[in-house]
Amino acid sequence: MTVTLGSTCLWFDKEAEEAAKFYTSIFKNSKINHVSRYGEAGQDIHGQNAGSVMTVEFELDGRRFMGLNGGPLFKFNESVSLVVYCDTQEEIDTLWHKFTADGGEESHCGWLKDKFGLSWQIVPSVLSKLMSDPARADAVMAAFLKMRKFDIAALEKAYNQAA
């Protein structure tokens, strides 16, 4: 048997194309691959207008996603999030600003929701290293539990002071 793991499907009410354009504008190596539209068939079931966007297949930094305009039945929640690792504070700050603009919401410990309600974790790449030393991990955790957006310098300071 040969199987291929496909893309991650993100269920939107009617914003899949807008979201795909937004996301692909943020990440390098990203593009919209295909847009499919609802036809007349099944309109009594899906309730979408013929010709409206059904799915948008897109890539973010080479990873495949599909946005589905499935109506208002399901909403995003924090049980699923997309994690983005950043090497610099400037990258964290830039992504944080872009994702929280126009109705996005800050949360805690590097989590946020974008204007479509999708949860993201904007995480410094160095965090796993800072958390790998059991003697210092508590200090690092105590520092980031007070943060909304991660502050790399503050995390490194907590790590170094715990030495």
Of 19, 156, 4, nearest to 88 (Cα)? 156
Same domain, 103 and 51: no
**Residue indicated by tokens 């002071």:** 161
Kindly state the tokens that stand for 108. Answer: 């805690």
- 157 CB-side CA count, 13 A: 7
For the chain, what is the domain count?
Answer: 2
State pLDDT tens for residues 72-103. 999 999 999 999 999 999 999 999 999 999 99
pLDDT classification of 47: cutoffs 50, 70, 90: confident
pLDDT above 90 for 5: no
Same domain, 112 and 156: yes
Same domain, 28 and 56: yes
* Among 21, 55, 74, residue at a domain's last position: 74
Of 119, 116, 141, 117, nearest to 128 (Cα)? 141
Q: How confident is the model over 101-116, as a mean pLDDT?
A: 97
Give the pLDDT score at 122.
98
* Domain interval for residue 80: 76-163
Give the pLDDT score at 34.
98
pTM beyond cutoff 0.95:
no
pLDDT above 80 for 23: yes
Same domain, 64 and 33: yes
User: Torsion angle, CA of 89/92/93/94, rounded to 10 degrees?
Assistant: 120
